[in-house]
């Protein structure tokens, strides 16, 4: 693995395309190696068949937990490990999970990163034991349901209603495009308990086996994953102690989770960009056209340099963001801007890598083809470009 401190001319492979970072320590590198071993042994050999089948086995959750993969950033007393305040651990996990060129395993395995923290922060002792601990042990699975058929960007306008009746909440409404919806045992659900707008939203932890819940797969996505779905709530009864956090003030917790999602999205997209570009470079160095290697054609090698430049610039921005985050600064605008920069970098790298590979990109399962297929989703999850640019504009004081 690359030694960040001494590399001067790195190989142009996945590791070499990540520029050295002044902030990564030996402990981070050890963690990265552990995650890589997990991916090499438990994920990578199966990706093509999981892609074809549109799913992966539930057993992977327990395997991941046994190998110490699920607890990253959660309290030790609940089965977690690695300092929660150090975002690098999760980012390195996201990088390594995306190295083989698919985000789908990560999307389900790490859903608890956004669904579980409010439960850990606000949930009763009983919920810590009955939900948090089994989730970190790979025995229960979670989903985080915000988006509705009426829209996802304007989360403050969500319509799913929860009305208090006696000693329970009664939930009615529907959610869509929810990652892990079909597998989840528990769904952290954003509901309207108060008036219109962001100040009337609460979070409820809903048992997915409750009467009145109907779940259906969202068909048509070629983002392989048969567990992404729509959830209908028909008079679903939720006990009062499943209100997570203060009533009507759940939006702040939602917003915090969006930042976690954005940081992992940035790590994911830049990792996939490296994989795509490494494959394109390798191919350009081997393949010949018109009597020369592809890389000996100036137009093509300039294209490759352009991609390496975009990756390096994004990592420099990322290093700066995480460093400021760790100093306790509020970097909402920067994370929003970087998320857009990173997803645009991925879309460009995916397109150009497909281009360099020519027809070969379509011949059988290739990592670049899968990256190209999956790249678009990253521009939606955690906020679309327009939503993030508006957020940045407000935070920067443009408005």
Ligand X SMILES: Cc1cc2nc3c(=O)[nH]c(=O)nc-3n(C[C@H](O)[C@H](O)[C@H](O)COP(=O)(O)OP(=O)(O)OC[C@H]3O[C@@H](n4cnc5c(N)ncnc54)[C@H](O)[C@@H]3O)c2cc1C
Residues that bind ligand X (CB under 6 A): 144-147, 151-153, 177-179, 223, 228, 377, 380-381, 384, 386-387
Task: Output 13 or 389, the one with its CB closest to ligand X.
Answer: 389
Tell me the C-alpha distance between 320 and 281, whole Å.
Answer: 28
Query: What's the closest the beta carbon of residue 184 comes to ligand X, in angstroms?
Result: 10
Contact 184, 141 (CB under 8 A): yes
Closer residue to ligand X (CB): 153 or 174: 153
Nearest residue (CB) to ligand X, 7 versus 153: 153
User: Residue of minimal CB distance from ligand X?
Assistant: 152
| Angstrom distances, CA of residue 271 to CA of 54, 266, 275, 316, 390 | 22, 9, 6, 14, 26
Q: Which is nearer to ligand X, 115 or 357 (CB)?
A: 115
Q: Closest distance between ligand X and the C-beta of residue 146, in Å?
A: 3
How far apart are CB 340 and ligand X at their closest, in Å? 11
Q: How far is the CB of 292 from ligand X (least distance, A)?
A: 41
- Packing angle of the helix pair 332-357, 367-378 (nearest 10 deg): 150
Identity of the residue, 179 or 366, whose beta carbon is nearer to ligand X in the bound complex: 179
- Closest CB to ligand X among 73 and 152? 152
Nearer to ligand X, 154 or 235 (CB): 154
Closest CB 364 distance from ligand X, rounded Å: 24
CA 331 → CA 161, 194, 323, 386, distances in Å? 33, 30, 10, 18
For residue 44, the minimal CB distance to ligand X (Å) is 21
| Chain mean position to CA 25 | 23
Question: Quick count: other Cβ atoms within 10 Å of Cβ 187?
Answer: 26
């Amino acid at each position: 693995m690359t030694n960040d401190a001494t590399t001067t001319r790195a190989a142009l492979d996945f590791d070499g395309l990540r520029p050295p970072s002044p902030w990564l320590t030996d402990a981070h590198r050890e963690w990265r190696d552990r995650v890589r071993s997990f991916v090499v042994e438990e994920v990578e050999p199966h990706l093509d068949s999981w892609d074809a089948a549109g799913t992966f086995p539930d057993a992977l959750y327990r395997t991941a937990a046994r190998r110490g993969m699920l607890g990253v950033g959660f309290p030790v007393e609940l089965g977690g490990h690695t300092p929660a305040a150090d975002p690098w651990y999760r980012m390195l996990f996201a990088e390594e999970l995306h190295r083989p060129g698919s985000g789908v395993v990560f999307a389900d395995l790490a859903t608890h990163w956004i669904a579980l923290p409010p439960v850990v922060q606000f949930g009763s002792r009983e919920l810590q034991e009955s939900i948090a601990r089994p989730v970190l042990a790979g025995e229960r699975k979670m989903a985080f349901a915000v988006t509705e058929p009426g829209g996802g960007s304007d989360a403050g306008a969500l319509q799913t209603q929860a009305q208090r009746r006696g000693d329970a909440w009664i939930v009615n409404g529907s959610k869509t495009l929810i990652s892990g919806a079909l597998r989840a045992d528990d769904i952290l659900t954003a509901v309207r308990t108060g008036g219109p707008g962001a100040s009337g939203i609460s979070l409820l932890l809903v048992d997915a086996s409750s009467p009145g819940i109907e779940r259906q797969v969202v068909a048509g996505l070629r983002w392989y994953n048969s567990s992404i779905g729509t959830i209908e709530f028909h008079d679903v009864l939720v006990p009062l102690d499943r209100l997570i956090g203060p009533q009507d003030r759940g939006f702040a917790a939602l917003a915090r989770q969006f930042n976690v999602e954005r940081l992992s999205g940035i790590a994911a997209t830049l990792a996939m960009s490296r994989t795509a570009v490494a494959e394109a470079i390798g191919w350009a160095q081997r393949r010949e056209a018109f009597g020369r290697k592809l890389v000996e054609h100036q137009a093509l090698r300039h294209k490759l340099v352009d991609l390496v430049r975009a990756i390096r610039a994004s990592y420099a921005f990322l290093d700066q963001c995480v460093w400021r985050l760790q100093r306790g600064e509020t970097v909402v605008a920067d994370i929003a801007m970087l998320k857009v920069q990173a997803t645009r970098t991925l879309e460009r790298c995916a397109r150009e890598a497909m281009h360099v590979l020519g027809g070969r990109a379509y011949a059988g399962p290739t990592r670049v083809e899968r990256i190209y297929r999956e790249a678009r989703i990253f521009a939606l999850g955690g906020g679309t470009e327009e939503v993030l640019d508006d957020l940045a504009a407000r935070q920067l004081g443009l408005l």
